[in-house]
């Protein structure tokens, strides 16, 4: 299978390419420069270092020629903030690119597509009473992305899978982990680390690669796959960050109302500085303090995801986050 990967040198796109090549498929990546320092691309993996957003349609069509599949592993998540209304940014980098890429792919006869999405879309289906799309622009954008993606499978000429991804652990040389912000928050506390109740589903980078390959080879029609393999409460996850950073203090579960006061203060400061957030922190407390778990039986096992060492992946992510706090030359998440 010939596969075009948008975001081809990112943490997840490169892992997908590596695993596809190991299984004797062929992959071509499109990626923003630079390649993170220390990253070695697999043999036979070619990457076009251009911004796909500014590419002419004809250029993208040329790169899609002869491809049987496309993977959209680009875009931004809720940690990217900006001026209000923030939804416009998520629409620009997540929703509209999905529509454009799949439209062009369908034009060239591509038969399979995988879009990397968010498990907040799964949370929306599981808990409609939370009104996630009403209060959270980022989550609303992910639902819009899914709706657009699945529409391209409606006539039966293209199989489209949206992977609803939870917290992901693993690293890439020279790339600043998204977890650096969490470690900075932890290290700013004194004597005790305060965190709310609740927990999350999680997977490793390797497992996301397996899910992508599985979706390319097994999915039929249009489907959303909630990807989860391990579930962990916040206290245990934060304790692993302590271990990686050499922090010797307890993790204390704070009452929800105290956590609410803290996030309200953060949100007020952001608003005052003109920064809009993808999540309404006041309303998000309900999500944060829940156990947003996903069983591996829901989709991961079907797609061929195998057990991995989640503890080692968390320690590795926290360790590189510590390094990122000391270095300024690491590649970070960016839209273009």
Tell me if 278 sits within 8 A of 138, measured CB to CB: yes
Percent over 70 (pLDDT), the chain = 99
Determine the pLDDT at residue 335: 53
The percent helix, strand, coil of the chain (3-state, each to 5) is: 45, 20, 40
**pLDDT of 336 strictly over 60:** no
* DSSP per-residue string spanning 112-161: EEEEEEEHHHHHHHH-GGG-HHHH-HHHHHHHHHHHHHHHTTTTSS-EEE
Q: How many other C-beta atoms can be found within 10 angstroms of the C-beta atom of residue 274?
A: 9
Q: How many other C-beta atoms can be found within 10 angstroms of the C-beta atom of residue 319?
A: 17
**pLDDT of 330 strictly over 90:** no
Question: Which tens digit of pLDDT belongs to each residue from 93-152?
Answer: 999 999 999 999 999 999 999 999 999 999 999 999 999 999 999 999 999 999 999 999
Determine the pLDDT at residue 334: 57
Instruction: Specify whether the backbone of 44 is left (phi greater than 0), alpha (psi in -120 to 50) or beta.
Output: left
Cα torsion for 247, 199, 264, 138, to the nearest 10°?
Answer: 120
Overall fold of domain 2-166+205-228+295-306: Rossmann fold (3.40.50)
**pLDDT of 13 strictly over 90:** yes
Mean pLDDT of 155-179: 96
Whole-model pTM?
A: 0.96
Distance CA 256, CA 327 (A): 35
| φ, ψ at 179 (rounded to 5°) | -80, -5
Q: Whole-number mean pLDDT of the chain?
A: 95
Determine the pLDDT at residue 50: 97
Question: Which tens digit of pLDDT belongs to each residue from 97-112?
Answer: 999 999 999 999 999 9
**pLDDT of 231 strictly over 90:** yes
Give per-residue burial for 93-117: e unless 16+ CB within 10 Å, then b: bbbebbebbbebbbebebebbbbbb
């Amino acid at each position: 299978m010939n596969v075009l990967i948008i975001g081809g040198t990112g943490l997840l796109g490169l892992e997908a390419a590596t695993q596809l090549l190991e299984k004797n498929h062929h992959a071509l990546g499109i990626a923003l420069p630079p390649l993170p320092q220390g990253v070695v691309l697999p043999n036979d993996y070619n990457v076009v270092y251009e911004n796909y957003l500014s590419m002419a349609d004809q250029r993208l069509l040329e790169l899609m020629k002869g491809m049987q599949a496309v993977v959209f592993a680009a875009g931004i998540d809720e940690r990217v903030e900006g001026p209000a209304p923030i939804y416009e940014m998520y629409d620009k980098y997540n929703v509209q690119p999905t529509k454009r890429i799949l439209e062009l792919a369908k034009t060239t006869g591509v038969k399979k597509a995988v879009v990397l999405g968010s498990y907040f879309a799964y949370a929306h289906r599981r808990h409609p009473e939370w009104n996630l799309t009403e209060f959270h622009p980022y989550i609303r954008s992910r639902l819009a992305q899914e709706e657009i993606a699945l529409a391209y499978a409606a006539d039966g000429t293209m199989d489209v899978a949206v992977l609803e991804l939870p917290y992901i652990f693993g690293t890439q040389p020279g790339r600043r982990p998204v977890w650096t912000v969490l470690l900075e928050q932890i290290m700013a506390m004194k004597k005790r680390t305060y965190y709310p109740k609740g927990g999350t589903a999680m997977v490793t980078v390797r497992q996301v690669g397996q899910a992508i390959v599985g979706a390319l080879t097994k999915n039929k029609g249009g489907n959303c796959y909630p990807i989860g393999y391990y579930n962990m409460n916040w206290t245990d996850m934060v304790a692993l960050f302590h271990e990686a950073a050499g922090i010797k203090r307890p993790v204390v579960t704070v009452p929800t109302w105290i956590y609410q006061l803290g996030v309200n203060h953060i949100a007020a400061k952001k608003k005052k500085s003109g920064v809009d957030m993808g999540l309404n922190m006041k309303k998000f407390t309900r999500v944060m303090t829940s156990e947003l778990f996903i069983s591996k039986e829901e989709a991961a096992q079907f797609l061929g995801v195998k057990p991995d060492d989640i503890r080692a992946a968390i320690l590795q992510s926290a360790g590189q986050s510590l390094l990122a706090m000391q270095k300024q030359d690491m590649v970070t998440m960016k839209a273009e």
